[in-house]
């Protein structure tokens, strides 16, 4: 009989959607170099959102990978041509393969892929199964999906995501209550914090960051890594919130 895995605290990756450094936070990111190089001295993860809007050349990904420390990881948002325009219907070689070929240049700095679905995209089991099957035939690493139609939070969708080893994002604000919690494949948990109550604009209150720190510190027998990405970037709050969260996590670790 195989003994169950012991519960332990997963490795944590805290960062922002993008690596811009607001002027008000510039002194927290000292040193020469690009914004990315300075950002990567403070955080160990970042979410590339620009890839959602336009493709990047393979050499761009390679340059980014070369400018960060060995322990740093990128999450890369999949193109909107796949999620919003083609709505997961297009053959894989039209958009998926060129995207995967380009992000492969990140090498071992590639931490996860992020697929954000439009709010109007209802769960279709056959369509989702084909798409995730095509993705998994070409990419074995962590994938997180942020669906936004309520049908994706029912049991059939959760089971399909789990079968394809896809993590369902825990999002704030949550469109439905279950959207707040990571689900499906739990080997990697992925949180996206968009700002509340005004999405993208508002900073998080200290009590919300306290609760988030306690949540991230929970032990788990099945989760090896937890990502927490702040996407409240419109007024520059993401980096301040991420830094404040790291301070709280360090305080929890002190004896």
Note the pLDDT tens digit of each residue in 186-208: 999 999 999 989 999 999 999 99
As beta bridge partners, residue 184 has: 167
Per DSSP, the three-state class of 76 is strand
Q: What is the pLDDT of residue 247?
A: 97
Report the C-alpha gap between 209 and 123 in whole angstroms.
32
Q: Which CATH number fits the domain that encloses residue 154?
A: 3.20.20.410
Note the pLDDT tens digit of each residue in 64-122: 999 999 999 999 999 999 999 999 998 777 889 999 999 999 999 999 999 999 999 99
According to DSSP, residue 220 is labeled B
Q: What is the pLDDT of residue 180?
A: 96
Write out the DSSP string of the chain. -PPPPPPBPPEEEEEEES----GGGGGGS-SSS-HHHHHTTT-SEEEE-HHHHS---HHHHHHHHHTS-TT-EEEEEPPHIIIIISTT-S-HHHHHHHHHHHHGGGGGGEEEEEEEPPTT----HHHHHHHHHHHHHH--S-EEEE--SGGGGSHHHHHHHHHTT-EEPEEES-SSGGGGS-EE--SEEEEEE--SSSTTTPPPPHHHHHHHHHHHT--BSS--EEEEEE--TTTTHHHHHHHHHHHHHHHHH--
Assess if residue 5 is contained within a domain. no
Assess if residue 3 is contained within a domain. no
Q: Is the pLDDT of residue 36 over 90?
A: yes
Comparing CA positions, the residue from 195, 234, 226, 232 lying closest to residue 14 is 226
Assess if residue 32 is contained within a domain. yes
Comparing CA positions, the residue from 230, 149, 170 lying closest to residue 195 is 230
Q: What is the pLDDT of residue 91?
A: 78
Report the C-alpha gap between 251 and 248 in whole angstroms.
5
Q: What number is the average pLDDT over the span 239-244?
A: 97
Give the total number of structural domains in the chain: 1
Comparing CA positions, the residue from 75, 212, 134, 160 lying closest to residue 168 is 160
- CA–chain centroid gap for 88, Å, is 19
Q: Is the pLDDT of residue 7 over 90?
A: no
Report the C-alpha gap between 227 and 213 in whole angstroms.
12
Q: Which tokens in the block code for residue 134?
A: 């095509």
Assess if residue 2 is contained within a domain. no
Q: What number is the average pLDDT over the span 205-218?
A: 97
Query: pLDDT grade, residue 253 (50/70/90)?
Result: confident
Report the C-alpha gap between 26 and 28 in whole angstroms.
5
Query: pLDDT grade, residue 3 (50/70/90)?
Result: low
Q: Mean pLDDT over all residues of the chain? A: 95
Residue range of the domain that includes 92: 11-253
Q: What is the pLDDT of residue 4?
A: 62
Report the C-alpha gap between 17 and 74 in whole angstroms.
10
Assess if residue 4 is contained within a domain. no
Q: What is the pLDDT of residue 41?
A: 96
Q: Where are the beta strands (DSSP E) in 23-91?
A: 45-48, 73-77
């Amino acid at each position: 009989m195989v003994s169950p895995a012991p519960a332990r605290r997963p490795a944590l990756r805290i960062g922002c959607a993008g690596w811009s450094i607001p002027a008000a936070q510039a002194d927290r990111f000292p040193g020469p170099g690009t914004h990315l190089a300075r950002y990567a001295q403070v955080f160990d993860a970042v979410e590339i959102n620009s890839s959602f809007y336009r493709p990047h050349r393979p050499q761009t990904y390679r340059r980014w990978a070369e400018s960060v420390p060995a322990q740093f990881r990128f999450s890369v948002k999949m193109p909107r041509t796949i999620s919003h325009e083609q709505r997961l219907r297009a053959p894989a070689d039209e958009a998926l393969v060129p995207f995967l070929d380009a992000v492969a240049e990140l090498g071992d700095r590639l931490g996860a892929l992020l697929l954000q679905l439009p709010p109007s995209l209802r769960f279709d089991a056959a369509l989702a199964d084909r798409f995730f099957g095509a993705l998994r035939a070409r990419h074995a690493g962590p994938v997180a999906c942020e669906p936004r139609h309520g049908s994706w939070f029912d049991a059939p969708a959760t089971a399909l995501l789990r079968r394809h080893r896809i993590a369902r994002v825990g999002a704030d604000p949550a469109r439905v209550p279950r959207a707040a919690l990571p689900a499906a494949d739990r080997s990697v948990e992925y949180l996206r914090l968009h700002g509340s109550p005004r999405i993208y604009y508002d900073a998080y209150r200290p009590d919300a960051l306290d609760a988030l720190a306690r949540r991230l510190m929970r032990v788990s027998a099945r989760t090896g890594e937890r990502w927490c990405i702040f996407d409240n970037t419109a007024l520059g709050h993401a980096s301040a919130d991420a830094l404040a969260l790291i301070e709280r996590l360090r305080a929890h670790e002190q004896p």
